[in-house]
């Protein structure tokens, strides 16, 4: 279950890489730099799929969790682009904000999009005409009680949908962590900044951070839904974890920080194994075990690089980590780990992720019980026959979506691994991947039914 390096990706970027993000199933990696260039890579083969430019410094990007090959890309200028099938320029999200940098983007399982832009957090939806537009702006948090913090500007830095698409957890620079109910736009709970929670207040380092990293001071957080834990990085100890249930400090992750590098590093969750990947000041990516708060592995980049930008992804029992340095040649390194797990464990993880995300089974069962009770009281036999046909169709769809398709993915992975084992046992070399194409040319991806 330890990570091993599988690729070093180079040649696509000439300037510093600002953000990395794996696709939801870990098959692709998107990388964005400060010149506005985005590259998309095949994770397994390490080959470049395509590159495209947006003409501005990119601050953050995210993959859509519902539609394959859709990217949401935020720029320092405040523009948010929606790029489908890697074809630019894409469409712009209509937020009404200009000139404020985009700090975070979070797509939800239901299709809405949360954007932290400037001091605001926008909730956007796609209209029937295909236009993305802001429909709600979250109320700004208040500092609870008396405070001695000198900087009270509202600065959202990380966004996490929780329990489906009805709640949003926002990490602020000076205002702690706030959870909002998106139906009512009310603040449900918060974790306040204090001396015990230094993660939430790091603005005293702002001038130093601006000199070294050429960015605003930031707090990066990552969510562990199965553990109900939120982990956030800081510039005093490294990172801290908080219980979402009790809203109390759960643990300290003490990292080796350097005084002349006052930079908070990006953290990413590895939910299947309950581990966290985090950048560092000493040329390594740190892998932490969250339940025990122990450092279990250091992924060496080099001896002296500042590793601020990382990405991580868990899909079934396979986990990936990617990192890029702040200075020097923008080489992106990829690591992979396979967690020992039975087919039942992988299938259970897949199904629990779906059910925890939207509570689909609870809603479906409740609706079906209500409909059935009403029908038995009011409808005749002919209508009952039609309704039965409809219910059978819905049940068939649910079984295919939440049982058959996840099971098929597990079986396909088992088939691939069996084939690799047989080829290795027979001494047959697998067919090598095709050579990478020209870096700046976009090749459309062929589909059999296109």
Residue found under tokens 């005084």: 259
Note the pLDDT of residue 98. 86
Note the pLDDT of residue 261. 66
Give dist(CA 267, CA 231) in Å, integer. 8
Which of 76, 90, 95 lies closest to 133, judged by CA? Answer: 95
Domain ranges of the chain: 4-338, 359-426
Note the pLDDT of residue 336. 94
Query: Per-residue pLDDT tens for 226-264?
Result: 888 999 887 777 788 999 988 888 888 887 776 666 677
Query: What CATH number matches the domain at 4-338, 1.20.58.1290, 3.60.21.10, 3.40.50.620, 2.130.10.10?
Result: 2.130.10.10
pLDDT tens string for the chain (450 positions)? Answer: 789 999 999 988 989 899 999 998 878 999 999 999 999 999 999 999 999 998 889 999 999 988 888 999 999 999 999 999 888 777 899 998 888 899 999 999 888 999 999 999 999 999 888 899 999 999 988 765 544 444 567 889 999 998 888 899 999 887 888 999 998 999 999 887 654 444 343 322 232 222 223 333 346 889 998 888 999 887 777 788 999 988 888 888 887 776 666 677 888 999 888 899 988 878 888 899 999 999 999 898 877 778 888 999 988 778 999 999 888 888 999 999 988 766 666 666 555 555 444 445 555 566 666 666 666 666 566 666 776 777 777 787 778 777 777 777 778 777 777 887 888 888 776 665 445 444 344 434 444 444
Note the pLDDT of residue 109. 86
Note the pLDDT of residue 378. 63
Give dist(CA 128, CA 126) in Å, integer. 7
């Amino acid at each position: 279950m330890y990570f091993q390096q599988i690729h070093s990706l180079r040649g696509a970027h000439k300037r510093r890489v600002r953000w990395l993000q794996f696709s939801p199933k870990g098959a692709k990696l998107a990388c964005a730099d400060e010149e506005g260039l985005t590259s998309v890579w095949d994770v397994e083969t390490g080959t470049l799929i395509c590159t495209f430019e947006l003409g501005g410094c990119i601050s953050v990007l995210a993959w859509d969790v519902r539609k394959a090959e859709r990217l949401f890309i935020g720029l320092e200028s405040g523009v948010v682009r929606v790029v489908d099938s890697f074809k630019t320029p894409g469409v712009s999200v209509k937020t009404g904000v200009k000139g404020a940098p985009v700090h975070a983007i979070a797509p939800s399982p239901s299709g809405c999009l949360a954007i932290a832009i400037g001091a605001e957090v926008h909730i956007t939806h796609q209209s029937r005409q295909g236009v993305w537009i802001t429909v709600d702006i979250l109320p700004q948090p208040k500092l609870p009680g008396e405070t001695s913090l000198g900087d009270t500007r509202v600065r959202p830095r990380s966004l996490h949908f929780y329990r489906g698409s009805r709640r949003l957890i926002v990490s602020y620079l000076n205002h702690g962590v706030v959870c909002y109910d998106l139906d009512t736009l009310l603040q449900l709970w918060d974790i306040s900044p204090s001396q015990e929670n230094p993660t939430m207040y790091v603005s005293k380092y702002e001038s130093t951070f601006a000199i070294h990293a050429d960015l605003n001071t930031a707090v990066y957080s990552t969510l562990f839904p199965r553990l109900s834990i939120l982990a956030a990085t800081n510039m005093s100890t490294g990172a801290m974890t908080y219980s979402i249930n009790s809203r109390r400090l759960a643990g300290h992750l003490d990292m080796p920080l350097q005084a002349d590098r006052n930079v908070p590093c990006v953290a990413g969750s590895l939910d299947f194994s309950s581990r966290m990947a985090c950048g560092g000041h000493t040329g390594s990516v740190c892998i932490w075990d969250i339940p025990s708060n122990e450092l279990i592995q250091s992924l060496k980049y080099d001896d002296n690089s500042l590793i601020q930008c990382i990405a991580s992804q868990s899909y079934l029992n396979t986990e990936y980590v990617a990192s890029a340095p702040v200075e020097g040649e923008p080489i992106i390194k990829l690591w992979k780990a396979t967690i020992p797990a039975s087919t039942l464990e992988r299938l259970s993880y897949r199904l629990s992720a779906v059910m925890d995300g939207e509570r689909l089974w609870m809603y479906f069962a409740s609706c079906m019980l209500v409909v059935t009770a009403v029908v038995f009281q009011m409808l005749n036999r002919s209508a009952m026959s039609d309704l039965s046909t409809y219910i059978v169709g819905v049940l068939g769809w649910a079984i295919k979506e939440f049982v058959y398709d996840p099971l098929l993915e597990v079986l396909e992975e088992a088939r691939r691994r069996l084939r690799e084992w047989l080829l290795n046992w027979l001494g047959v070399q697998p067919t090598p991947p095709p050579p990478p194409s020209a870096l700046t040319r976009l090749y459309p991806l062929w589909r059999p039914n296109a």
